[in-house]
């Protein structure tokens, strides 16, 4: 096996671990509520705390990679994640379980910030798309197996075993990393920006908490306004500090690259739309009175298709402008969203949603690999750690934003239709909920279409820049 390809082994295992760990939680929430005798809103912090801490630490983890190299932070992240996962399985109460999940998030942030940088550094430009495609396969596989494996474990054993299953994988990945991950990526002698890091954490935590909990605390309540004020003040202070110091945590010069910025903007908009799709699909099928097994089968169509088409997207990205491949993926996604918005509330079947989810998965396979190549290829080599952190942070922020939009707007629109006395044709389906969800998909269409347009503009700009460079040469 090619030495470069061997690097993908621990990276893919780690990628599968992180997505299994995240996706299995959705299945386990009712079990947690019953086991700890706590309301669902309280136990949801098992997932919420993890995601908030993870997204908030990605920038910091990326900068650590730029200072110390990408191999050692990746291995440290694997170690922390594996230990944290084992501790979750032994947690005696809900509070300690949430604390252990935060510990897991620290490890996952180091892993997720390091993987794209390791791929980009270890593979030449003409092979990066293919390598990123293999990594997306592992992520998709985790999304597919997590819910079904979690359901099987919970039906046979206690909830503790949904954590124990990842421990052997972590040990295998850590052992493989010791022999495979290259050491030439280490970069020493750079200072760490502690003040910038603290300000970035304050900014991200307050922003993400506001987006995640805004509907509960009130978007314009005193708490909500306090969070927004904190977010703005921390951001302004962060930008001021980063401009003044020689070794900033976040080199703002990165954002002078228009293709890099465009890739991030396209990424954010796409993942908002993707999360709307993923979050609302089970709700849509539940409103249509389908049982859990049908819902599960339908929902996994998206990651299954993404897993199959990620290598294709990577292969294309190595041969044509990756922005064009991103636009192609976004177009498939936009088509799927548009088709969902045309579903008949009274008569659609799960099969109608299934093949639409498959189309969205095809788009995801093309988009996620190519967009990562766009962003990381337009970052300087010594800044690829922080670029990876930015990429992952923007992705998670888009996902959090998508969940907030889905839960808030679908509820508002459904209530509007209920007050308008929307009747059902068969007496069973919740037509008001279905119509409300369809309305939210129209907004998702706006997001994903905007993502496509930005990718196309990026492709045109990159081509023009290349022509100018050739003329100069």
- Residues 280-302, mean pLDDT to the nearest whole number: 85
Statement: residue 424 has pLDDT above 80:
no
- Residues 300-307, mean pLDDT to the nearest whole number: 92
CATH class of 1-178: mainly alpha
Q: Tell me: the pLDDT tens digits for 22-79?
A: 888 877 887 888 889 988 778 888 888 898 899 899 999 998 988 888 898 999 999 9
Q: Tell me: the pLDDT tens digits for 309-348?
A: 999 999 999 989 999 999 999 999 999 999 999 998 888 8
Statement: residue 290 has pLDDT above 80:
yes
Statement: residue 1 has pLDDT above 70:
no
pLDDT band at 150 (very low <50, low <70, confident <90, very high): confident
What pLDDT does residue 146 have? 83
What pLDDT does residue 470 have? 65
More confident residue, 465 or 31: 31
| Dist. CA 49–CA 68, nearest whole Å | 27
Domain range summary for the chain, segments of one domain joined by +? 1-178, 193-248, 251-473
Scored b (16 or more CB within 10 A) or e, 201-220 reads bbbbbbbbbbbbbbeeeebe
- Residues 150-161, mean pLDDT to the nearest whole number: 86
Q: Tell me: the pLDDT tens digits for 226-263?
A: 999 999 999 999 999 999 888 888 889 899 999 999 99
- Classify domain 251-473 at the CATH topology level: Growth Hormone; Chain: A; (1.20.1250)
Asked whether the domain spanning 251-473 has the same topology as the one spanning 1-178, the reply is yes
Q: Tell me: the pLDDT tens digits for 67-79?
A: 888 898 999 999 9
């Amino acid at each position: 096996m090619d030495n470069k390809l061997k690097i993908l082994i621990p990276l893919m295992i780690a990628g599968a671990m992180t997505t299994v760990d995240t996706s299995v939680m959705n299945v386990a929430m009712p079990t947690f509520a019953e086991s700890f005798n706590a309301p669902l809103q309280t136990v949801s912090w098992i997932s919420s705390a993890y995601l908030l801490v993870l997204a908030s630490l990605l920038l910091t983890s990326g900068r650590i990679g730029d200072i110390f190299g990408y191999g050692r932070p990746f291995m440290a992240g694997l170690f922390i994640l594996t230990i944290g996962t084992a501790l979750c399985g032994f947690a005696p109460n809900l509070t300690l379980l949430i604390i252990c999940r935060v510990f897991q998030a620290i490890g996952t942030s180091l892993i997720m910030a390091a993987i794209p940088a390791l791929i980009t550094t270890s593979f030449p430009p003409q092979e990066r798309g293919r390598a990123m495609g293999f990594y997306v396969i592992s992520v998709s596989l985790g999304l597919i197996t997590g819910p079904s494996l979690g359901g099987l474990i919970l039906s046979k054993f206690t909830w503790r075993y949904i954590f124990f299953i990842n421990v052997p994988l972590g040990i295998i990945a850590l052992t493989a990393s010791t022999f495979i991950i290259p050491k030439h990526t280490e970069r020493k002698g750079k200072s760490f920006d502690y003040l910038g890091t603290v300000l970035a954490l304050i900014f991200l935590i307050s922003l993400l908490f506001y987006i995640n909990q805004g509907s509960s605390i009130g978007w314009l309540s005193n708490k909500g306004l306090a969070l927004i004020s904190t977010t703005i003040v921390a951001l302004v202070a962060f930008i001021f500090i980063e401009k003044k110091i020689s070794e900033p945590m976040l080199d703002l010069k990165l954002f002078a690259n228009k293709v890099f910025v465009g890739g991030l903007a396209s990424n954010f908009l796409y993942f908002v739309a993707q999360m709307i799709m993923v979050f609302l699909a089970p709700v849509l099928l539940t409103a249509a009175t389908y049982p859990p097994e049908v819902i599960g089968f339908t929902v996994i169509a998206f990651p299954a298709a993404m897993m199959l088409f990620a290598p294709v997207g990577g292969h294309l990205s190595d041969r044509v402008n990756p922005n064009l491949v991103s636009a192609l993926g976004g177009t498939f996604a936009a088509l799927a969203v548009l088709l969902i918005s045309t579903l008949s509330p009274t008569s659609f079947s799960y099969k109608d949603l299934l093949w639409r989810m498959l189309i969205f998965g095809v788009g995801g396979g093309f988009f996620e690999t190519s967009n990562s190549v766009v962003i990381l290829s337009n970052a300087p080599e010594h800044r690829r750690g922080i670029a990876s952190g930015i990429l992952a942070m923007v992705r998670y922020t888009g996902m959090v934003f998508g969940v907030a939009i889905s839960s808030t707007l679908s509820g508002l629109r459904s209530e509007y239709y209920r007050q308008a006395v929307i009747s059902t044709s068969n007496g069973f389906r919740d037509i008001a909920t279905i119509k409300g969800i369809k309305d939210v998909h129209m907004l998702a269409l706006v997001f994903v279409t905007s993502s496509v347009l930005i990718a196309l503009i990026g492709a045109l700009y990159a081509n023009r820049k290349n022509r100018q460079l050739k003329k100069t040469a």
